Amino acid sequence: MKEKRIDPPVMVTRSSLPPLEDYVEMLKPLWESAWLTNMGEYHKQFAAQLKEYLHTPNLELFVNGHMALELVIQAMNLSGEVITTPFSFASTTHAIVRNGLTPVFGDINPVDYTLDADRLEDLITEKTSAIVPVHVYGHICDVERIGEIADRHHLKVIYDAAHTFGEEYNGIGIGRFGDASMFSFHATKVFHSIEGGAVAFRDASLAPVLYELKNFGITGSESVESVGANGKMNEFQAAMGILNLRYVEDGIEKRRNLVRRYRERLSGVPGIRLSPENPKVRYNYAYMPVVFDGYRKSRDRIFAELAEHGVHARKYFYPCINSYDCYKDQFDAEQTPVAARISGQVLTLPLYAGLDPETVDLICDLILRQDS
Ligand SMILES: *Cc1c(COP(=O)(O)O)cnc(C)c1O
Protein backbone atom coordinates (compact mmCIF):
# COMPACT_ATOMS: atom_id res chain seq x y z
CA MET A 1 0.00 0.00 0.00
CA LYS A 2 1.47 3.33 -1.03
CA GLU A 3 -0.46 6.38 0.11
CA LYS A 4 -0.16 9.30 -2.21
CA ARG A 5 1.31 12.64 -1.33
CA ILE A 6 -1.13 15.14 0.03
CA ASP A 7 -1.04 18.17 -2.22
CA PRO A 8 -0.93 21.02 -1.41
CA PRO A 9 0.98 20.10 1.75
CA VAL A 10 -0.89 20.20 5.06
CA MET A 11 0.75 22.31 7.72
CA VAL A 12 0.27 21.75 11.45
CA THR A 13 -1.92 24.83 11.58
CA ARG A 14 -3.42 27.48 9.38
CA SER A 15 -4.63 30.88 10.55
CA SER A 16 -8.37 31.54 10.53
CA LEU A 17 -9.34 34.68 8.65
CA PRO A 18 -12.65 36.58 8.63
CA PRO A 19 -14.17 37.69 5.29
CA LEU A 20 -11.82 40.26 3.75
CA GLU A 21 -14.67 42.72 3.05
CA ASP A 22 -15.48 42.79 6.76
CA TYR A 23 -11.93 43.66 7.66
CA VAL A 24 -11.76 46.37 4.99
CA GLU A 25 -15.01 47.79 6.35
CA MET A 26 -13.45 47.97 9.80
CA LEU A 27 -10.43 49.83 8.45
CA LYS A 28 -12.48 52.75 7.13
CA PRO A 29 -12.92 54.50 10.50
CA LEU A 30 -9.17 54.18 11.05
CA TRP A 31 -8.53 56.08 7.81
CA GLU A 32 -11.00 58.75 8.92
CA SER A 33 -9.68 59.23 12.44
CA ALA A 34 -6.03 58.40 11.66
CA TRP A 35 -5.94 56.94 15.20
CA LEU A 36 -3.96 53.76 14.60
CA THR A 37 -2.67 52.72 18.01
CA ASN A 38 -2.34 53.94 21.61
CA MET A 39 -5.53 52.48 23.02
CA GLY A 40 -8.04 53.58 20.39
CA GLU A 41 -11.72 52.76 19.88
CA TYR A 42 -11.20 49.16 18.71
CA HIS A 43 -8.82 48.51 21.57
CA LYS A 44 -11.58 49.55 23.99
CA GLN A 45 -14.26 47.51 22.25
CA PHE A 46 -12.07 44.43 21.96
CA ALA A 47 -11.11 44.49 25.64
CA ALA A 48 -14.78 44.80 26.66
CA GLN A 49 -15.82 41.92 24.41
CA LEU A 50 -13.04 39.70 25.70
CA LYS A 51 -13.96 40.31 29.32
CA GLU A 52 -17.39 39.02 28.51
CA TYR A 53 -16.27 36.06 26.40
CA LEU A 54 -13.63 34.93 28.88
CA HIS A 55 -15.83 35.62 31.94
CA THR A 56 -13.12 37.68 33.54
CA PRO A 57 -13.74 41.07 35.14
CA ASN A 58 -10.17 42.34 34.83
CA LEU A 59 -8.28 42.21 31.57
CA GLU A 60 -5.56 44.18 29.84
CA LEU A 61 -4.61 43.84 26.15
CA PHE A 62 -1.04 43.58 24.87
CA VAL A 63 0.78 43.57 21.55
CA ASN A 64 1.49 39.85 21.96
CA GLY A 65 1.26 37.09 24.53
CA HIS A 66 4.92 37.19 25.42
CA MET A 67 4.91 40.89 26.35
CA ALA A 68 1.75 40.24 28.34
CA LEU A 69 3.53 37.56 30.37
CA GLU A 70 6.75 39.49 30.76
CA LEU A 71 4.92 42.59 31.95
CA VAL A 72 2.52 40.86 34.33
CA ILE A 73 5.52 39.20 35.97
CA GLN A 74 7.13 42.63 36.27
CA ALA A 75 3.90 44.05 37.70
CA MET A 76 3.92 41.46 40.51
CA ASN A 77 7.26 42.75 41.85
CA LEU A 78 8.67 39.26 42.30
CA SER A 79 12.14 38.30 43.47
CA GLY A 80 14.37 35.23 43.62
CA GLU A 81 13.04 31.97 42.22
CA VAL A 82 10.02 31.15 40.11
CA ILE A 83 8.87 27.57 39.67
CA THR A 84 7.86 26.69 36.13
CA THR A 85 7.77 23.86 33.59
CA PRO A 86 10.37 23.02 30.94
CA PHE A 87 7.60 21.55 28.78
CA SER A 88 6.40 24.73 27.11
CA PHE A 89 7.18 27.27 24.44
CA ALA A 90 10.33 29.42 24.84
CA SER A 91 8.26 32.40 25.95
CA THR A 92 7.35 31.01 29.39
CA THR A 93 10.89 30.74 30.76
CA HIS A 94 12.21 33.71 28.80
CA ALA A 95 9.60 35.94 30.47
CA ILE A 96 10.89 34.86 33.88
CA VAL A 97 14.58 35.22 33.02
CA ARG A 98 14.10 38.57 31.27
CA ASN A 99 12.66 39.84 34.56
CA GLY A 100 15.91 38.99 36.33
CA LEU A 101 14.33 36.01 38.11
CA THR A 102 15.67 32.46 38.38
CA PRO A 103 13.50 29.72 36.88
CA VAL A 104 13.27 26.47 38.82
CA PHE A 105 12.04 23.65 36.63
CA GLY A 106 9.49 21.21 37.97
CA ASP A 107 8.69 18.01 36.12
CA ILE A 108 5.38 17.36 34.37
CA ASN A 109 2.90 14.56 34.95
CA PRO A 110 2.83 11.88 32.23
CA VAL A 111 -0.94 12.06 31.75
CA ASP A 112 -1.72 15.58 30.62
CA TYR A 113 1.84 17.02 30.57
CA THR A 114 1.13 19.91 32.93
CA LEU A 115 3.30 20.72 35.98
CA ASP A 116 3.26 17.79 38.42
CA ALA A 117 1.47 19.19 41.47
CA ASP A 118 2.59 16.22 43.59
CA ARG A 119 6.18 17.36 43.40
CA LEU A 120 5.66 21.08 43.48
CA GLU A 121 6.26 21.54 47.19
CA ASP A 122 9.71 19.93 47.04
CA LEU A 123 10.84 22.80 44.82
CA ILE A 124 9.79 25.61 47.13
CA THR A 125 12.63 27.36 48.98
CA GLU A 126 12.74 30.58 50.99
CA LYS A 127 13.65 32.34 47.73
CA THR A 128 10.56 31.21 45.84
CA SER A 129 8.17 34.04 45.02
CA ALA A 130 5.87 32.60 42.35
CA ILE A 131 4.75 29.67 40.23
CA VAL A 132 4.28 29.98 36.47
CA PRO A 133 2.48 26.83 35.29
CA VAL A 134 1.31 26.22 31.72
CA HIS A 135 -2.03 24.80 30.60
CA VAL A 136 -0.43 22.58 27.97
CA TYR A 137 -2.31 21.87 24.69
CA GLY A 138 -5.56 22.94 26.32
CA HIS A 139 -5.18 20.58 29.29
CA ILE A 140 -5.83 22.46 32.47
CA CYS A 141 -3.28 22.31 35.30
CA ASP A 142 -4.35 21.03 38.68
CA VAL A 143 -5.55 24.53 39.54
CA GLU A 144 -6.98 23.50 42.90
CA ARG A 145 -3.81 21.89 44.26
CA ILE A 146 -1.60 24.61 42.82
CA GLY A 147 -3.81 27.28 44.37
CA GLU A 148 -3.81 25.57 47.74
CA ILE A 149 0.00 25.13 47.77
CA ALA A 150 0.57 28.72 46.63
CA ASP A 151 -1.73 30.08 49.34
CA ARG A 152 0.00 28.09 52.03
CA HIS A 153 3.42 29.39 50.96
CA HIS A 154 2.29 32.91 50.02
CA LEU A 155 3.32 32.56 46.40
CA LYS A 156 1.86 34.26 43.35
CA VAL A 157 0.49 32.07 40.57
CA ILE A 158 0.66 33.32 37.00
CA TYR A 159 -0.70 30.88 34.44
CA ASP A 160 0.56 30.71 30.89
CA ALA A 161 -2.89 30.18 29.39
CA ALA A 162 -1.75 30.70 25.79
CA HIS A 163 -3.30 27.35 24.81
CA THR A 164 -6.58 27.71 26.66
CA PHE A 165 -8.44 30.64 25.13
CA GLY A 166 -12.12 30.36 26.00
CA GLU A 167 -11.77 27.24 28.13
CA GLU A 168 -13.75 26.72 31.29
CA TYR A 169 -13.17 24.53 34.31
CA ASN A 170 -16.31 23.62 36.25
CA GLY A 171 -18.05 26.40 34.33
CA ILE A 172 -15.51 29.01 35.45
CA GLY A 173 -13.47 30.94 32.88
CA ILE A 174 -9.90 29.61 32.93
CA GLY A 175 -8.56 33.15 33.33
CA ARG A 176 -10.01 33.33 36.83
CA PHE A 177 -7.59 30.89 38.41
CA GLY A 178 -4.41 32.10 40.08
CA ASP A 179 -3.41 35.73 40.38
CA ALA A 180 -3.18 36.20 36.63
CA SER A 181 -3.38 34.34 33.32
CA MET A 182 -1.76 35.21 30.03
CA PHE A 183 -3.58 34.53 26.76
CA SER A 184 -1.91 34.64 23.36
CA PHE A 185 -3.71 35.79 20.21
CA HIS A 186 -0.91 34.83 17.86
CA ALA A 187 -1.92 33.99 14.28
CA THR A 188 -1.39 30.26 14.92
CA LYS A 189 -3.65 30.04 17.96
CA VAL A 190 -7.30 28.99 18.22
CA PHE A 191 -8.22 32.65 18.32
CA HIS A 192 -6.01 35.46 17.04
CA SER A 193 -5.58 39.17 16.45
CA ILE A 194 -2.65 38.63 14.01
CA GLU A 195 -0.32 39.04 16.98
CA GLY A 196 -1.76 39.90 20.35
CA GLY A 197 -2.26 38.89 23.91
CA ALA A 198 -4.00 39.68 27.16
CA VAL A 199 -3.65 39.25 30.87
CA ALA A 200 -6.67 38.39 32.98
CA PHE A 201 -6.08 39.12 36.66
CA ARG A 202 -7.69 38.83 40.04
CA ASP A 203 -6.71 42.06 41.79
CA ALA A 204 -8.37 45.05 40.08
CA SER A 205 -5.66 47.39 41.35
CA LEU A 206 -3.23 45.75 38.92
CA ALA A 207 -5.04 47.40 35.97
CA PRO A 208 -3.28 50.79 36.10
CA VAL A 209 0.07 49.07 36.73
CA LEU A 210 -0.27 46.90 33.63
CA TYR A 211 -1.51 49.85 31.59
CA GLU A 212 1.48 51.89 32.66
CA LEU A 213 3.98 49.09 32.00
CA LYS A 214 2.76 48.52 28.46
CA ASN A 215 3.11 52.24 27.76
CA PHE A 216 6.72 52.92 28.80
CA GLY A 217 5.78 53.60 32.43
CA ILE A 218 4.20 56.89 31.40
CA THR A 219 1.71 58.17 33.97
CA GLY A 220 1.07 61.70 32.68
CA SER A 221 2.15 64.12 29.99
CA GLU A 222 5.20 65.05 32.04
CA SER A 223 5.69 62.00 34.26
CA VAL A 224 7.22 58.56 33.80
CA GLU A 225 7.08 56.55 37.00
CA SER A 226 8.28 53.06 36.06
CA VAL A 227 10.61 51.33 33.60
CA GLY A 228 7.93 50.09 31.24
CA ALA A 229 8.08 48.65 27.75
CA ASN A 230 6.07 49.18 24.60
CA GLY A 231 3.43 46.47 24.80
CA LYS A 232 0.48 48.25 23.22
CA MET A 233 -1.93 46.44 20.92
CA ASN A 234 -2.65 48.51 17.80
CA GLU A 235 -6.02 49.14 16.15
CA PHE A 236 -5.43 46.78 13.21
CA GLN A 237 -4.85 43.95 15.64
CA ALA A 238 -7.89 44.86 17.73
CA ALA A 239 -10.06 45.03 14.59
CA MET A 240 -8.93 41.54 13.58
CA GLY A 241 -9.62 40.30 17.09
CA ILE A 242 -13.14 41.76 17.13
CA LEU A 243 -13.95 40.07 13.82
CA ASN A 244 -12.38 36.73 14.73
CA LEU A 245 -14.28 36.65 17.99
CA ARG A 246 -17.48 36.33 15.94
CA TYR A 247 -16.24 33.08 14.44
CA VAL A 248 -14.37 31.51 17.32
CA GLU A 249 -17.23 29.32 18.54
CA ASP A 250 -17.73 27.97 15.05
CA GLY A 251 -14.00 27.30 14.78
CA ILE A 252 -13.93 25.44 18.09
CA GLU A 253 -16.87 23.30 17.00
CA LYS A 254 -15.04 22.33 13.79
CA ARG A 255 -11.90 21.53 15.76
CA ARG A 256 -13.93 19.41 18.15
CA ASN A 257 -15.19 17.26 15.30
CA LEU A 258 -11.71 16.87 13.84
CA VAL A 259 -10.32 15.85 17.24
CA ARG A 260 -13.11 13.32 17.61
CA ARG A 261 -12.15 11.86 14.25
CA TYR A 262 -8.47 11.63 15.21
CA ARG A 263 -9.41 10.02 18.51
CA GLU A 264 -11.66 7.46 16.88
CA ARG A 265 -8.83 6.32 14.66
CA LEU A 266 -5.91 6.51 17.10
CA SER A 267 -7.24 5.65 20.54
CA GLY A 268 -6.68 2.11 21.75
CA VAL A 269 -3.78 1.55 19.34
CA PRO A 270 -0.92 -0.09 21.30
CA GLY A 271 1.97 2.33 21.74
CA ILE A 272 -0.08 5.42 20.91
CA ARG A 273 -1.12 7.57 23.84
CA LEU A 274 -3.77 10.26 23.85
CA SER A 275 -4.55 12.29 26.97
CA PRO A 276 -7.94 11.58 28.52
CA GLU A 277 -10.50 14.36 28.33
CA ASN A 278 -11.63 15.78 31.65
CA PRO A 279 -15.44 16.09 31.74
CA LYS A 280 -15.12 19.19 33.95
CA VAL A 281 -13.33 21.08 31.18
CA ARG A 282 -14.85 22.91 28.26
CA TYR A 283 -12.04 22.46 25.75
CA ASN A 284 -11.04 24.65 22.84
CA TYR A 285 -9.33 21.79 20.96
CA ALA A 286 -6.24 23.87 20.34
CA TYR A 287 -3.88 20.99 19.56
CA MET A 288 -3.86 17.31 18.68
CA PRO A 289 -0.89 15.90 20.61
CA VAL A 290 -0.05 12.22 20.18
CA VAL A 291 2.60 10.43 22.24
CA PHE A 292 4.35 7.48 20.63
CA ASP A 293 5.47 5.33 23.55
CA GLY A 294 6.50 1.85 22.48
CA TYR A 295 4.77 2.15 19.10
CA ARG A 296 6.39 0.14 16.32
CA LYS A 297 7.61 3.37 14.74
CA SER A 298 9.35 6.16 16.63
CA ARG A 299 8.07 9.73 16.83
CA ASP A 300 10.90 10.89 14.58
CA ARG A 301 10.16 8.19 12.02
CA ILE A 302 6.45 9.12 11.94
CA PHE A 303 7.39 12.78 11.65
CA ALA A 304 9.65 12.06 8.66
CA GLU A 305 7.15 9.73 6.95
CA LEU A 306 4.35 12.26 7.28
CA ALA A 307 6.59 14.98 5.85
CA GLU A 308 7.44 12.75 2.87
CA HIS A 309 3.72 12.59 2.19
CA GLY A 310 3.18 16.33 2.47
CA VAL A 311 1.95 16.36 6.08
CA HIS A 312 3.88 18.70 8.33
CA ALA A 313 3.27 17.81 11.96
CA ARG A 314 5.26 19.53 14.70
CA LYS A 315 7.56 18.26 17.45
CA TYR A 316 5.94 20.48 20.02
CA PHE A 317 7.48 20.87 22.55
CA TYR A 318 10.89 19.66 21.55
CA PRO A 319 13.46 20.23 22.87
CA CYS A 320 12.50 21.01 26.46
CA ILE A 321 13.33 24.55 27.53
CA ASN A 322 15.97 23.38 30.05
CA SER A 323 17.94 21.84 27.20
CA TYR A 324 17.91 24.93 24.95
CA ASP A 325 21.39 26.20 24.03
CA CYS A 326 20.79 29.34 26.07
CA TYR A 327 19.86 27.39 29.24
CA LYS A 328 21.54 24.00 29.09
CA ASP A 329 24.69 25.11 30.91
CA GLN A 330 22.65 26.37 33.87
CA PHE A 331 20.12 23.56 34.14
CA ASP A 332 20.09 19.81 34.06
CA ALA A 333 17.33 18.41 31.85
CA GLU A 334 17.71 15.07 33.62
CA GLN A 335 16.09 16.67 36.66
CA THR A 336 12.83 16.65 34.71
CA PRO A 337 12.88 13.14 33.19
CA VAL A 338 9.18 12.94 32.34
CA ALA A 339 9.34 16.18 30.37
CA ALA A 340 12.50 14.98 28.60
CA ARG A 341 10.87 11.66 27.68
CA ILE A 342 7.53 13.08 26.49
CA SER A 343 9.35 15.73 24.50
CA GLY A 344 11.06 12.95 22.55
CA GLN A 345 7.81 11.08 21.93
CA VAL A 346 5.21 13.73 21.19
CA LEU A 347 3.95 15.00 17.89
CA THR A 348 1.17 17.52 17.38
CA LEU A 349 -0.84 16.63 14.29
CA PRO A 350 -2.41 19.13 11.88
CA LEU A 351 -5.47 20.77 13.40
CA TYR A 352 -7.25 23.94 12.35
CA ALA A 353 -10.82 24.97 11.68
CA GLY A 354 -10.48 24.73 7.90
CA LEU A 355 -8.91 21.25 7.89
CA ASP A 356 -10.77 18.74 5.76
CA PRO A 357 -11.99 15.73 7.81
CA GLU A 358 -10.85 13.42 5.01
CA THR A 359 -7.33 14.72 5.45
CA VAL A 360 -7.51 13.59 9.07
CA ASP A 361 -8.28 10.10 7.80
CA LEU A 362 -5.34 10.20 5.38
CA ILE A 363 -3.01 11.34 8.17
CA CYS A 364 -4.23 8.49 10.41
CA ASP A 365 -3.75 6.01 7.52
CA LEU A 366 -0.15 7.14 7.22
CA ILE A 367 0.48 6.78 10.95
CA LEU A 368 -1.20 3.37 11.17
CA ARG A 369 0.00 1.74 7.95
CA GLN A 370 1.73 -1.60 8.38
CA ASP A 371 4.20 -1.85 5.49
CA SER A 372 6.85 0.47 6.78
C1 LIG B 1 2.14 31.20 21.81
C2 LIG B 1 2.65 30.96 23.17
C3 LIG B 1 3.26 31.97 23.93
C4 LIG B 1 3.62 33.32 23.39
O5 LIG B 1 2.60 34.03 22.84
P6 LIG B 1 2.87 35.07 21.65
O7 LIG B 1 1.54 35.72 21.48
O8 LIG B 1 3.33 34.30 20.47
O9 LIG B 1 3.90 36.04 22.13
C10 LIG B 1 3.62 31.69 25.24
N11 LIG B 1 3.42 30.48 25.77
C12 LIG B 1 2.87 29.46 25.08
C13 LIG B 1 2.65 28.15 25.74
C14 LIG B 1 2.49 29.67 23.75
O15 LIG B 1 1.97 28.65 23.05
Report pTM: 0.97
Percent of the chain having pLDDT more than 90? 97
Query: Which residue's C-alpha comes closest to atom 10 of ligand 1?
Result: 91
More confident residue, 370 or 140: 140
User: What is the arithmetic mean of pLDDT over 73-102?
Assistant: 98
What is the chain's mean pLDDT, rounded?
A: 97
Atom of ligand 1 nearest to the CA of 66: 9
CA–CA distances in Å: residue 94 to residues 75, 85, 135, 247: 16, 12, 17, 32
Residue to substitute in 84, 89, 139 for testing ligand 1 pocket (most ligand atoms within 8 angstroms of CB): 89
Residue 260 confidence (pLDDT): 98
Q: Best mutation site among 67, 73, 91, 199 for ligand 1, i.e. most ligand atoms within 8 A of its Cβ? A: 91
Residue 372 has pLDDT above 60, yes or no: no
Helix (H), strand (E), coil (C) string for 113-154? CCECHHHCHHHCCCCEEEEECECHHHCCCCHHHHHHHHHHHC
Residue 171: exposure state from Cβ atoms within 10 A (0-12, 13-18, ≥19): exposed
User: Residue 371 — very low, low, confident or very high, per pLDDT cuts 50/70/90?
Assistant: low
Q: How much distance in Å is there from the Cα of 91 to the middle of ligand 1?
A: 6
- Domains in the chain (CATH in brackets) are 20-242 (3.40.640.10), 248-368 (3.90.1150.10)
Q: To test ligand 1's pocket by mutation, which of 87, 88, 184 has the most ligand atoms within 8 angstroms of CB?
A: 184
8 A C-beta contact, residue 36 and residue 237: no
Average pLDDT over residues 107-114: 97
Work out which ligand 1 atom sits closest to the CA atom of 185.
7
| pLDDT score at 2 | 58
Q: What is the pLDDT of residue 7?
A: 86
Upper half-sphere CA count for residue 289 (Cβ side, 13 Å): 25
The mean per-residue pLDDT over the stretch 27-56 comes to 98
Of the CA atoms within 13 Å of residue 356, those in its CB half-sphere come to: 11
> How confident is residue 3, by pLDDT bands cut at 50, 70 and 90?
low
Q: Is the pLDDT of residue 124 over 60?
A: yes
- Please give the distance, rounded to the nearest whole angstrom, from the Cα atom of residue 27 to the centre of ligand 1: 27
Atom of ligand 1 nearest to the CA of 195: 7
Q: What is the pLDDT of residues 166-182, one digit of tens each?
A: 999 999 999 999 999 99
Q: Which residues pair with 108 in a beta bridge?
A: 115
What pLDDT, in 10s, does the model give residues 146-202?
999 999 999 999 999 999 999 999 999 999 999 999 999 999 999 999 999 999 999
Query: How many Å lie between the centroid of ligand 1 and the Cα of residue 356?
Result: 26
The residue whose CA has the least distance to atom 2 of ligand 1 is 162
Average pLDDT for 203-227 = 97
Q: What number does the ligand 1 atom closest to the CA of 136 have?
A: 13
| CB count in 10 Å sphere of residue 300 | 14
Please tell me the predicted confidence (pLDDT) of residue 355. Answer: 97
